[in-house]
Amino acid sequence: MDNSIRNAIYEEKKSRNAFLPAQIRDYGQGLLRSLMKPITMLKAVNEIRDDYLLEAAPKGYLPQEKKAFSWFNMRVLAGAMAVVLLAIFIGTRQMNKPGVATVTPYAVYETISEANEITGFELECPKTIADSTSRKIAVYQGTMTEVIYLAADESKCATLRKAAGSEDISGDYNAWETETQMTVNGNAVTAKGNNGTVSLLTWTEGKYSYSLSLETGIAPEEAESLISLIH
């Protein structure tokens, strides 16, 4: 992959994580304020004079010995706050390192090459399917590539997915009239559809799973031609 693509991926990751240090800072400040509240309240109670308490107490009140807020307790709380601050500081520095980014559940990319860089595997697929004029490329959890083929009016024409493993990754739970098996490029393909057409194709090739769902059913022969172009 050339440097321009690598730089684009890095800048995209950087922009997604730019807000995180500020979020951690704000969270840390809020946590510190929460930890300081009991210290302030206990110190305030401890400093109230006993004669003031007796004067304000109801008739028959028997005073009890106040429990002093010891320096030991303050040291314990101070130590806890120091640990929290250290964790926040280390986390902020780690996220600011070049190339270090959190994994987002869903990220959109401009090209297949960028998506391949994220998932670590190559996806080869047609630029158009059916009546599509454009496509949207996304990666889920950094492990599955999805290509949505869109028509001129932005309606969906087809959805292609690829991920490591052998499970069905189509996410399709429709009840289809027919389910048949075909062999394409030596791979067993499950084809589902209605009225003699195919609308959903799932298969494995090597150590990867694939799925192709079509908004409008196509002939089985056309489906075979499409699968032969996907790797």
Dig out the tokens for 90 from the structure: 């280390």
Domain that holds residue 205: 106-227
Rg (CA), the chain: 31
**Nearest to 21, CA basis, from 97, 96, 100:** 96
In this structure, the answer to whether residues 90 and 171 fall within a common structural domain is: no
pLDDT tens-place string over residues 137-169: 999 999 999 999 999 999 999 999 999 999 999
Domain assignment present for 210: yes
**CATH code of the domain in which 181 resides:** 3.40.1000
Q: With contact defined as beta carbons under 8 Å apart, do 77 and 39 qualify? A: yes
Whether residue 54 is contained in a domain is answered as: yes
| Model confidence pLDDT, tens digit, residues 2-28 | 444 444 444 444 444 444 444 445 555
One domain for residues 89 and 122: no
Q: Which two tokens stand for residue 39?
A: 């210290």
Is there a domain that residue 159 lies in? yes
Distance, in Å, from the CA atom of 72 to the CA atom of 77, rounded to the nearest integer, reads 9
Model pTM? Answer: 0.57
- Domain boundary (38, 63, 95) is at 95
- CA-CA distances (angstroms) from residue 20 to 11, 26, 94, 109, 122? 15, 10, 11, 21, 30
